[in-house]
């Protein structure tokens, strides 16, 4: 490349890398694989060293990708939070070892660790107490996420043990374990939410939620990987990590000390094979010079330390041809594009299909039929398309466009602004939605109907015997026995299962109805709060959103569901079939001091959080509402209650209770 070409390519690369940094660190939706990203960075590094006249302090080769997000306060790091030099090959690991030895003039000991694939965090402890949790940010300052960090169980709030420095910083990686991630996604799918893409992006997104109560619901965990401070207990990195483990930190066991580069390469290759059996995702190994005085002598460059290097495992990738794209309709009506590929061998299995997620992802890839595409297998079961070879595209090939009509029932698809998915609105008559709803209804966590499976539901539907969940309760032995390959025993079993489902609890039925965004937990909350289905059907938007845990999306979905006469008919028929439509009284904690009271909580509080007050109201028999009306019993007002609310309350003559007044209600009752 000549100087002129470099002058054009360098700014292009910088723009692209900055854009990918934003996608990775801010929106948590990376577009390209780490490998392709690293290739861009390496190309830029090479050009900047060949043409130093174009080097800039602000180049992404010198700055770490920033995760700073609006809504958080920034805190300066006591020690800069750097990134690591990445390599994908053995040769560069040997070069690293040579460089290290040259500077140190001796053979160093290396600590070999896994490279946990999550998001980094810097924790500071003072007198044994956690005082702050800060993200990497731009390496100099990061976002203060202390309140969120305090909800993570594997991060100790207090530590105890020998030699704890008065103040120190410990850094690590926040991640979500593979099994927890799968469970989370299953629950989301059951509630009709879009699935999360992968554990790393979900962990990163969760850490930046503005509501710590929400963060607490995410299964975040933290591995610690380095300790910093003016007076650390030991002079090697590994000993400090060992003692950190004794103090109560979660330090992985998979750390090995080796004394040669061959030892390093042995560690790397053994984990390349074993990594699939780990309960969490890793994307490589990190090699660190173990002695802290050696680390100081090696020092660092603008962006990364000279005493450490990351070896990254390449995701397995294969090239193949895109034959067609099909569109699948799920239970909730969400339409997912799926790429059909010329079969190709990838990581030991034949791949014929790849997920394309949604219209935006499809558009970004700009797929044309017959394109040469690259598929990769990450942690997910279905591989994904990570790139297209545009140069090999045949002239005149057709661009793949998202369909406008449902492929199953022909309805015009809808897409709401805030949603990534297209939906088929014909929820009660579109075949896959009908079958999907029945499958969901009979599933274990809902009505748990034994004997009925996907195949039988398909047969029942195709024979015109069921069109919705209420039809299950009118099935007779004669209806079932005439189905293909149905034996007497199985038919009886199905009928027994359907009959037994009449004893399922109200919340299980509510979950089973498959109302969008009403997952297991939300169904339980609703059943506890509304006692019976009629009260829930009559609930207003204010009443619904007043409930702790029920947000606007869920409230809107419930109102829309109950506004459809067909759904009300189904509910009526289920009731007539003898299903439980009310909550059985349970003895629980709390009281009924606030029974019959509708309360609006407003402003900022000092003794408890707003959510805690809302919960307290519910536990003690009251109802929360989000807006003031004539039916409001009183307002629990903290500081900064809005002036319009205040005026409305005064106009309507509604009592305003301070935090203290409110808490006194409980004191009196216990005296």
Tell me the window of 4-12, 37-45, 305-313, 540-548 that interacts with ligand IVH (CB under 6 A): 305-313
Q: How far is CA 585 from CA 116, 506, 618, 643, in A?
A: 47, 11, 15, 40
Per the CB < 8 A criterion, the answer to whether 343 and 352 are in contact is: yes
Is the Cβ of residue 121 or residue 599 nearer to ligand IVH in the bound state? 121
| Residue 116: CB minimum distance to ligand IVH, A | 4
- If one asks whether residue 286 binds ligand IVH (CB under 6 A), the answer comes out as yes
- If one asks whether residue 7 binds ligand IVH (CB under 6 A), the answer comes out as no
| β pairing state of 334-346 and 317-329 | antiparallel
- If one asks whether residue 554 binds ligand IVH (CB under 6 A), the answer comes out as no
Burial class of residue 198 (count of CB atoms within 10 Å of its CB; 0-12, 13-18, 19+): buried
| Residue 61: CB minimum distance to ligand IVH, A | 14
Lay out the site mask for ligand IVH across 39-78 (x = CB under 6 A, - = otherwise): ----------------------------------------
Lay out the site mask for ligand IVH across 118-137 (x = CB under 6 A, - = otherwise): --x---------------x-
- If one asks whether residue 228 binds ligand IVH (CB under 6 A), the answer comes out as no
Per the CB < 8 A criterion, the answer to whether 14 and 57 are in contact is: no
Catalytic status, residue 664: no
- If one asks whether residue 201 binds ligand IVH (CB under 6 A), the answer comes out as no
Which residue has the CB atom at the shortest distance from ligand IVH? 120
Helix (H, G, I), strand (E, B) or coil at 574: helix
| Residue 126: CB minimum distance to ligand IVH, A | 22
- If one asks whether residue 140 binds ligand IVH (CB under 6 A), the answer comes out as no
In the list 55, 82, 298, 537, the residue contacting ligand IVH (rule: CB under 6 A) is 82
Is the Cβ of residue 154 or residue 304 nearer to ligand IVH in the bound state? 304
Binding residues among 327-366 for ligand IVH as defined by CB under 6 A:
none
- If one asks whether residue 550 binds ligand IVH (CB under 6 A), the answer comes out as no
Both tokens of 97, joined, read 């070892």
Contacts of the segment 356-363: beta carbons below 8 A, 24+ positions apart: 356/325, 356/384, 356/385, 357/197, 357/384, 357/420, 358/194, 358/420, 358/421, 358/422, 359/402, 359/415, 359/420, 359/422, 360/420, 362/325, 362/337, 362/400, 362/402, 363/402
Tell me the window of 71-79, 301-309, 448-456, 474-482 that interacts with ligand IVH (CB under 6 A): 301-309
Contacts of the segment 558-564: beta carbons below 8 A, 24+ positions apart: 558/515, 558/518, 558/526, 561/513, 561/515, 561/516, 562/536, 562/537, 564/428
In sequence order, what DSSP letters do the residues of 411-456 get, joined into one string? Answer: PBPB--TT-SSEE-S-TTTSHHHHHHHHHHHHSTTTT--TT--HHH
| Residue 338: CB minimum distance to ligand IVH, A | 33
Tell me the window of 41-49, 68-76, 111-119, 621-629 that interacts with ligand IVH (CB under 6 A): 111-119
- If one asks whether residue 145 binds ligand IVH (CB under 6 A), the answer comes out as no
Q: How many residues sit close enough to ligand IVH to count as binding (CB under 6 A)?
A: 16
Tell me the window of 14-22, 65-73, 113-121, 554-562 that interacts with ligand IVH (CB under 6 A): 113-121
Please give the angle made by the CA atoms of 169, 173 and 174, to the nearest 5 degrees.
Answer: 115
| Residue 117: CB minimum distance to ligand IVH, A | 7
In the list 16, 22, 74, 83, the residue contacting ligand IVH (rule: CB under 6 A) is 83
| β pairing state of 110-116 and 317-329 | unpaired
CA distance linking residue 71 with residue 52, whole number of Å = 38
- If one asks whether residue 271 binds ligand IVH (CB under 6 A), the answer comes out as no
CA distance linking residue 173 with residue 120, whole number of Å = 4
Residue identified by tokens 């002695």 is 291
- If one asks whether residue 87 binds ligand IVH (CB under 6 A), the answer comes out as no
Lay out the site mask for ligand IVH across 170-189 (x = CB under 6 A, - = otherwise): ---x----------------
- If one asks whether residue 192 binds ligand IVH (CB under 6 A), the answer comes out as no
CA distance linking residue 281 with residue 202, whole number of Å = 13
- If one asks whether residue 113 binds ligand IVH (CB under 6 A), the answer comes out as yes
What spatial distance separates the first Cα and last Cα of the chain, rounded to whole Å?
Answer: 85
- If one asks whether residue 241 binds ligand IVH (CB under 6 A), the answer comes out as no
| β pairing state of 129-135 and 119-126 | antiparallel
Share in percent of the chain as helix, strand, coil (round to 5):
40, 20, 40
- If one asks whether residue 605 binds ligand IVH (CB under 6 A), the answer comes out as no
| Strand partners for 423 | 334, 414
- If one asks whether residue 542 binds ligand IVH (CB under 6 A), the answer comes out as no
Both tokens of 398, joined, read 């057709």
> Phi, psi at residue 140, to the nearest 5°?
-100, -45
> Phi, psi at residue 614, to the nearest 5°?
-60, -40
Burial class of residue 168 (count of CB atoms within 10 Å of its CB; 0-12, 13-18, 19+): buried
- If one asks whether residue 256 binds ligand IVH (CB under 6 A), the answer comes out as no
| Residue 387: CB minimum distance to ligand IVH, A | 23
Tell me the window of 302-310, 539-547, 562-570, 663-671 that interacts with ligand IVH (CB under 6 A): 302-310
In the list 116, 125, 311, 327, the residue contacting ligand IVH (rule: CB under 6 A) is 116
* Nearest in space to 627 (alpha carbons), one of 542, 556, 559: 542
- If one asks whether residue 226 binds ligand IVH (CB under 6 A), the answer comes out as yes
H-state helical runs in 208-283: 212-217, 237-247, 261-274
Residue in 8, 46, 115, 435 annotated catalytic:
115
In the list 65, 305, 333, 546, the residue contacting ligand IVH (rule: CB under 6 A) is 305
In the list 191, 289, 310, 359, the residue contacting ligand IVH (rule: CB under 6 A) is 310
In the list 10, 84, 191, 265, the residue contacting ligand IVH (rule: CB under 6 A) is 84
Is the Cβ of residue 310 or residue 446 nearer to ligand IVH in the bound state? 310
* Nearest in space to 515 (alpha carbons), one of 331, 644, 241, 239: 331
Per the CB < 8 A criterion, the answer to whether 83 and 67 are in contact is: no
- If one asks whether residue 204 binds ligand IVH (CB under 6 A), the answer comes out as no
Tell me the window of 81-89, 181-189, 228-236, 418-426 that interacts with ligand IVH (CB under 6 A): 81-89
* Residue ranges that bind ligand IVH, judged by CB under 6 A: 82-84, 113, 115-116, 120, 136, 173, 225-226, 286, 304-305, 308, 310
Residues involved in catalysis: 115
């Amino acid at each position: 490349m000549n100087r002129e070409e470099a002058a054009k390519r360098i700014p292009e690369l910088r723009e692209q890398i900055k854009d990918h940094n934003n996608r990775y660190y801010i929106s948590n939706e990376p577009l390209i694989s780490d490998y392709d990203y690293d290739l861009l960075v390496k190309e830029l590094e090479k050009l900047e060293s060949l043409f130093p006249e174009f080097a800039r302090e602000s180049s992404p080769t010198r700055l770490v990708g920033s995760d700073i997000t609006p809504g958080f306060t920034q805190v300066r790091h006591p020690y800069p939070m750097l990134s690591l030099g990445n390599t994908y090959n053995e040769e560069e690991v040997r070069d690293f070892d040579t460089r290290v030895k040259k500077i140190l003039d001796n053979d160093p000991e290396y600590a070999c660790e896994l490279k946990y694939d999550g998001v980094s965090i810097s924790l500071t402890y003072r007198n044994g107490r956690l005082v702050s949790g800060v993200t990497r940010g731009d390496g100099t300052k990061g976002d203060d996420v202390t309140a969120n960090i305090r909800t993570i169980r594997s991060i100790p709030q207090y530590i105890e043990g020998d030699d704890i420095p008065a103040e120190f910083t410990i850094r690590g990686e926040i991640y979500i374990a593979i099994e927890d991630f799968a469970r989370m996604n299953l629950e989301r799918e059951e509630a009709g939410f879009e699935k999360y893409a992968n554990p790393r992006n979900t962990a990163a997104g969760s850490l930046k939620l503005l509501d710590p109560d929400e963060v607490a619901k995410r299964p975040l965990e933290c591995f610690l990987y380095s300790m910093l401070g003016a007076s650390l207990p030991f002079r090697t990195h590994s000993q400090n990590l060992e003692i950190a483990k004794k103090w109560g930190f979660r330090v992985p066991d998979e750390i090995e000390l080796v004394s040669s580069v061959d030892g390093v390469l042995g560690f790397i290759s053994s984990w390349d094979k074993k990594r699939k059996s780990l309960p969490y995702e890793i994307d490589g190994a990190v090699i660190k010079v173990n002695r802290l005085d050696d680390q100081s002598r090696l020092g660092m460059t603008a962006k990364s330390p000279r005493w450490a290097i990351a070896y990254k495992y390449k995701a397995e990738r294969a090239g193949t041809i895109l034959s067609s794209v099909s569109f699948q309709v799920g239970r909730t009506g969400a339409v997912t594009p799926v790429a059909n590929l010329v079969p190709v061998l990838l990581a030991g299995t034949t791949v014929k299909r790849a997920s394309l997620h949604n219209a935006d992802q499809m558009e970004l890839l700009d797929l044309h039929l017959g394109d040469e595409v690259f598929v990769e297998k990450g942690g997910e079961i279905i591989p994904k398309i990570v790139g297209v070879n545009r140069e090999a595209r045949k002239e005149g090939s057709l661009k793949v466009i998202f369909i406008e009509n449902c492929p199953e029932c022909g309805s015009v698809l809808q897409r709401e602004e805030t949603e990534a998915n297209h939906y088929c609105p014909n929820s009660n008559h579109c075949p896959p939605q009908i079958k999907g709803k029945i499958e969901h209804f009979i599933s274990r966590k809902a009505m748990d109907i034994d004997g009925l499976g996907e195949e039988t539901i398909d047969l029942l539907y195709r024979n015109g015997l069921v069109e919705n969940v209420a039809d299950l309760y009118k099935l007779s032995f004669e209806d079932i026995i005439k189905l293909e390959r149905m034996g007497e025993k199985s038919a009886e079993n199905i009928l027994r299962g359907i009959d037994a489902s009449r004893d399922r609890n109200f919340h299980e039925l509510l979950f089973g109805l498959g109302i969008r965004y009403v997952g297991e937990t939300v169904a339980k909350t609703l059943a506890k709060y509304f006692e019976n289905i009629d009260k829930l059907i009559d609930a207003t938007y204010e009443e619904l959103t007043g409930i702790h845990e029920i947000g606007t999306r869920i409230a809107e979905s419930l109102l829309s569901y109950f506004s459809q006469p067909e759904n009300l008919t189904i509910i009526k028929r289920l009731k007539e079939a003898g299903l439980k439509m009310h909550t059985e009284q349970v003895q629980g904690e709390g009281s009924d001091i606030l029974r019959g009271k509708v309360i609006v909580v407003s402003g900022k509080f000092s003794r408890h959080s707003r959510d805690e007050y809302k919960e307290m109201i519910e536990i003690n028999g009251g109802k929360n509402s989000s807006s003031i009306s004539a039916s409001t019993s009183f307002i629990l007002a903290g500081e900064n209650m809005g002036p319009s609310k205040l005026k409305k309350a005064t106009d309507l003559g509604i009592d305003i209770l301070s935090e203290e007044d409110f808490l006194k209600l409980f004191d009196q009752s216990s005296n």
